């Protein structure tokens, strides 16, 4: 069955956290019945891309979609690996950055796929960070009503979060990811070696999602991050492999139980309601996704203290860890910007009955979805954020 075909079968089968490396590689399975797929995690995996794709029984023609920065570093290796495995790949490059994640870029990519005569048994390789993965996945879901795709995430954020779970889509001026689909990849190849060339700002942005997994599902992971944060920032291979694998296990477990966000999967959005609004209001560029989500998580923690029983001490732990990771924990806002942010939140996908719904924490390691915060309390939290004098770091891209 095609990876995008609806099916009600959901089962959870996680690789145990203690699983050792097999030939330098860890494997986490995303168990979704006929749409199940593996996540491979290790170093120097990109040269094996073609070999892994050859096991999927796909057609010879394929396209590698990447951005201008990532393609410069890694497209040659990806294309050579695919050719060595008998495929006929073509490279499609889009401008780097969140502003490429739109319907105009989707149309341009689809046009190039048609010119290169990709067919229904052809496939797409998404080579890049979260923007490329979301964009290329949506192109795969739309072209010829759906062709296969493979995720090759090259940023920490994409490896632990956006490449897994099948959420694909693009932005509208009105809001983040408002056009998209649930469409699962055939495999995910996380080459940790790619993180060595990642700018420090991008690495820190990825840590926002790593920290989120500790908050929502694993208090021991959160404590481990408090202890080993410097090792992660120093790109210690053993620390990275364990953390990336654990985050993928958590997400695979959640997605395996709730593929289409009808319930449990909503917990993955902790901090995202305000974070996505920050991205939209700031024009998809001033803040990286992880930076906006870090601010959103601090705001969600403050709401949690008021509404869901999170202790003030644990809220401080959340803010402290995000700050230690070098992430912004607040955003300076004028009264007009606060109003715009509230308006953007009303366009969030989690709005129900006209009310913005939040994922809030009861304690570190346990969150619940569906909280409707009083408008006055949201405004108070935003005012707290507005008093900060923190600005995002200077841009760095790859």
Helix (H/G/I), strand (E/B), else coil: 21: coil
Residues 6 or more apart in contact with residue 132 via CB below 8 angstroms: 65, 66, 67, 70, 94, 126, 158
Of 237, 251, 68, 76, nearest in space to 157 by CA: 251
Catalytic option among 61, 101, 167, 204: 167
Q: Are 113 and 141 in contact (CB under 8 A)?
A: no
Identified catalytic residue from 276, 302, 350, 398: 276
The answer to whether residue 272 is catalytic is: yes
- 171 included as an active-site residue: no
Residue 176 · residue 280 · CB < 8 Å = yes
The tokens of 366 are what? 């346990």
Q: Where do the DSSP E strands lie in the chain? A: 25-30, 37-42, 61-67, 88-94, 123-128, 148-153, 167-172, 175-182, 188-191, 357-363, 366-372
| Residues whose CB falls within 8 Å of the CB of residue 317, separated by 6 or more in sequence, listed in order | 222, 226, 364
Q: Which of 52, 61, 212, 272 is catalytic?
A: 272
Angle at the Cα of 144 (from 139 to 145), degrees rounded to 5? Answer: 80
237: exposed, middle or buried (Cβ count in 10 Å: 0-12, 13-18, 19+): middle
Calculate the alpha carbon distances from 236 to 239, 241, 367 in Å: 5, 9, 30
Active site residue 265: yes
Number of other CB atoms surrounding residue 43 within 10 Å: 18
Catalytic residue among 98, 261, 291, 314: 261
**Residue 167 annotated to the active site:** yes
> Choosing from 209, 259, 279, 291, which is the catalytic residue?
209
Closest CA to 62 of 101, 120, 138: 120
324 is catalytic: no
Identify the active-site residue in 204, 289, 302, 349. Answer: 289
Q: Which of 101, 251, 350, 398 is catalytic?
A: 251
Given 23, 115, 145, 336, the catalytic residue = 145
145 is catalytic: yes
State both tokens at 78. 């990806």
Contact 291, 392 (CB under 8 A): yes
- Known catalytic residues are 145, 167, 209, 251, 261, 265, 269, 272, 276, 289
């Amino acid at each position: 069955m095609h990876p995008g075909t609806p099916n009600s079968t959901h089962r959870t089968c996680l690789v145990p956290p203690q699983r050792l490396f097999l030939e330098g590689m860890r494997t986490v399975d995303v168990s979704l019945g006929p749409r199940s797929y593996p996540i491979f995690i290790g170093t120097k995996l990109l040269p094996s891309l073609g070999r892994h794709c050859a096991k999927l029984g796909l057609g010879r023609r394929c396209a590698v979609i990447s951005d201008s920065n990532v393609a410069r570093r890694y497209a040659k290796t990806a294309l050579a690996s695919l050719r060595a495995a008998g495929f006929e790949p073509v490279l499609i490059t889009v401008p780097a950055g969140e502003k490429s994640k739109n319907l105009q870029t989707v149309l341009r990519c689809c046009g190039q796929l048609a010119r290169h005569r990709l067919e229904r048994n052809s496939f797409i390789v998404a080579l890049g960070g979260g923007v490329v993965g979301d964009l290329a996945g949506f192109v795969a879901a739309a072209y010829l009503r759906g062709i296969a795709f493979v995720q090759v995430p090259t940023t920490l954020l994409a490896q632990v979060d956006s490449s897994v779970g099948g959420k694909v889509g693009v932005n509208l001026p009105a809001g983040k990811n408002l056009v998209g689909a649930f469409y699962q990849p055939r495999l995910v190849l996380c080459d940790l070696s790619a993180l060595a060339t990642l700018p420090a700002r991008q690495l820190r942005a990825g840590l926002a999602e790593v920290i989120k997994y500790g908050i929502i599902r694993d208090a021991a992971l959160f404590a481990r991050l408090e202890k080993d944060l410097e090792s992660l920032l120093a790109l210690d291979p053993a620390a990275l492999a364990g953390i990336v694998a654990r985050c993928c296990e958590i997400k695979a477990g959640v997605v395996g139980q709730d593929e289409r966000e009808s319930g449990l999967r909503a917990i993955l959005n902790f901090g995202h309601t305000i974070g996505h609004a920050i991205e939209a209001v700031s024009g998809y560029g001033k803040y990286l996704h992880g930076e906006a989500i870090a601010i959103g998580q601090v705001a969600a923690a403050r709401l949690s203290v008021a509404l869901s029983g999170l202790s003030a001490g644990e809220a401080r732990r959340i803010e402290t860890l995000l700050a230690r990771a070098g992430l912004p924990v607040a955003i300076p806002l004028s009264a007009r910007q606060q109003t715009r942010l509230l308006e953007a939140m009303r366009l969030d996908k989690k709005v129900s009955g006209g009310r913005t719904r939040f994922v809030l924490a009861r304690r570190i390691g346990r969150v619940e979805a569906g909280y409707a915060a009083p408008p006055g309390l949201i405004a108070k939290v935003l005012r707290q954020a507005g008093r900060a004098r923190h600005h995002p770091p200077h841009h760095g891209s790859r």
